[in-house]
Amino acid sequence: MVAGGACGWGWGGVGECPVTGSKAEPVAEMVLPSGWGQGIEQPITPPPERTLVFGAVRGTEISAQPGKLAGREKTLISRHCPVKTHIMEPRAAQVRRRERLGRQQKDRPSREGEPCSGGAGRPGGIGGNVEVHRGPDLVQWTQHMQAVKTQLLEQAQGQLMELLDQAMWEAVQAYPPQGRPVPSVPPDSLHKTREPSLGKRKVFIIRKSLLDELMEVPHFRTIYHMFVAGLCVFIISTLAIDLIDEGRLMMEFDLLTFSFGQLPLALVTWVPMFLSTLLVPYQALRLWERPQSGGAWTLGVGLGCLLLAAHTVVLGILPVHVAVEYQLPPASRCVLVFEQVRLLMKSYSFLRETVPGTLRARGGEGIRAPSFSSYLYFLFCPTLIYRETYPRTPNVRWSYVAKNFAQALGCVLYACFILGRLCVPVFANMSQEPFSTRALVLSIMHATLPGIFMLLLIFFAFLHCWLNAFAEMLRFGDRMFYRDWWNSTSFSNYYRTWNVVVHDWLYSYVYQDGLWLLGGRARGAAMLGVFLVSAVVHEYIFCFVLGFFYPVMLLLFLVFGGPLNFTMHDRRTGPAWNVLMWTLLFLGQGIQVSLYCQEWYARRHCPLPQTTFWGLVTPRSWSCHT
């Protein structure tokens, strides 16, 4: 049977014809009245696949189920409707039926636009006894597809815009600064003048820090609340102990006061360090930008080199002299050594990014140095890679700045509570007891928990709170100071994601330049150079802050860090490798906290009768035992 109606002939009250506008549509389901066929009401449901034929006579063919209808009653929809359904039959029978239908249509012509209705008196009409379920309207379906097309185009346009923005930033940063002519170099001499870069350059884009994005998730924010609750527990325990032992409620911050002693002297020492970094590298570049002809340029180059040498001496010797001469405590030393290393790295990045273009200049005009304001901005913005321009946010959220500074201060207090409650009682008198392997192992295991707490606090306070506060004040757009290092399954990935700011500097100026010097070969040697530089600088920082040389960090980096970087590489994936990495981090932090704390108290309990070189470089904790 036909499940449908024809315009001007067939079933009545079916609907509009979707092409001509007449009221006709294919019917999805029809119930025959009693007395038709075998006298049983049988629904005829078309198969799920329908064929829409625009402006044709053909349609979807529906065959009645055998045994349910007496005979094979068949009907063909009028030619005016674009969707037609009929039952498969022999071709001769189809021809005869079409001729008969044609004669019937001549007798009953349908007007264009007339509703498709077959009244009770029309041949073949069923009247009002037909129950009709309309199919989807073609106009609505077209509108739906148009909406889907628009949505897909918007998504594709958004992704394309992101790709084009990134490509634009790469092109802008690779373009010579304003006022600089592009040096015309013959194609055959490109290999002689290209910059020593064999890998990708750092591209800055506007993006939020990962923890800021994760803090928007309530499940992750609960972890942050747990750490805050831990700080509250430390405060309550301190108050309870003071109340029980001293009979008073007073929180004394002796450790905090001692650590930040003589802080004004450290800040005064910072002023000449900053002024030297602000003036000397920029002035040296201005001397080198002069025309490369005659003795004037040679004199300028020599004078610039002398200025840079003096700048290096000031940054290298002044903070060390002040720290040793005035016996600065650890936190004040941290201020000096971090600024010393930061300013040296920024100076090198500025010269490394600008000097190659200056030295490649030809002719008598030379090229202009970048603007002084861009260099001044670079000295304060939270990155170690120099660019003349950075992506900027539209405004400053001062509430966000205050929140991050408050969180950084809270982390400092948290660290003082951890050291005062978990480390000082254990290691203060350890050097006065006889040495034993058991005591050493137990002290390392005991120090794993405070060690990992200190690692997390340093990460959150400095890499997240401190850097984000300065980035917000300076409207610095790229906030990717770290990545998801906690999900690392290899130490190579951990080293890349733990501190992205330092990693970018090491990758750009140690690894890539090392590859360039080696002709693009020996990547393992370049990677080993990165480990060596990183290990030496980390050990220097520990030596400067603590006031003694005990190469625990150096040995952990070179003896364990290097081999683990090559063995636990990026192909090591899976939860087990992440568990292994965290286990090694716990043990490594426990070793550092235990050995450095033992050496700190041993040097106070067992001072040297006279200062000698071997006495300074030999660990005192090995011999200071009663």
Residues annotated as catalytic are 538
**Cβ-based neighbour number of residue 350 at 10 Å:** 22
Please state whether 366 falls in left (phi above 0), alpha (psi between -120 and 50) or beta: left
With a CB cutoff of 8 Å and minimum separation 6, the contacts of 157 are: none
Distance CA 274, CA 187 (A): 42
Give yes or no for a contact between 307 and 341, defined as CB atoms under 8 angstroms apart: no
Judge whether 268 and 332 are in contact, CB under 8 Å: no
Maximum Cα–Cα distance for the chain, whole Å?
129
Question: Exposed, middle or buried, 428 (CB in 10 Å: 0-12/13-18/19+)?
Answer: middle
- Print burial letters for 7-43: b (CB count within 10 Å at least 16), e (below 16): bbbbbbbbbbbbebebbbbbbbebebeeebbeeeeee
Residue 26: DSSP 8-state: B
The C-alpha atoms of residue 454 and residue 448 are separated, in whole angstroms, by: 10
CA-based nearest residue to 414, from 551, 226, 559: 226
Alpha-carbon span 511 to 525, nearest angstrom: 9
Question: Residue 272's Cα: distance from chain center in Å?
Answer: 37
Rg (CA), the chain: 40
Check: CB of residue 124 under 8 Å from CB of residue 6: no
**CA-closest candidate to residue 463, choices 431, 499, 422:** 499
Contact between 346 and 281 (Cβ < 8 Å): no
The β-bridge relationship of strands 59-61 and 84-86 is parallel
Residue 362 three-state SS: coil
Distance of CA 378 to the CA centre of its chain: 22
CB burial of residue 171 (10 Å; 0-12, 13-18, 19+): exposed
Can you tell me the distance from the alpha carbon of 76 to that of 528, in angstroms, rounded to the nearest whole number?
A: 83
Exposed/middle/buried for residue 273 (C-beta within 10 Å: 0-12, 13-18, 19+): buried
β 30-31/43-44 pair status: antiparallel
- Candidates 530, 523, 528, 483; CA nearest to 508 is 530
DSSP 392: B
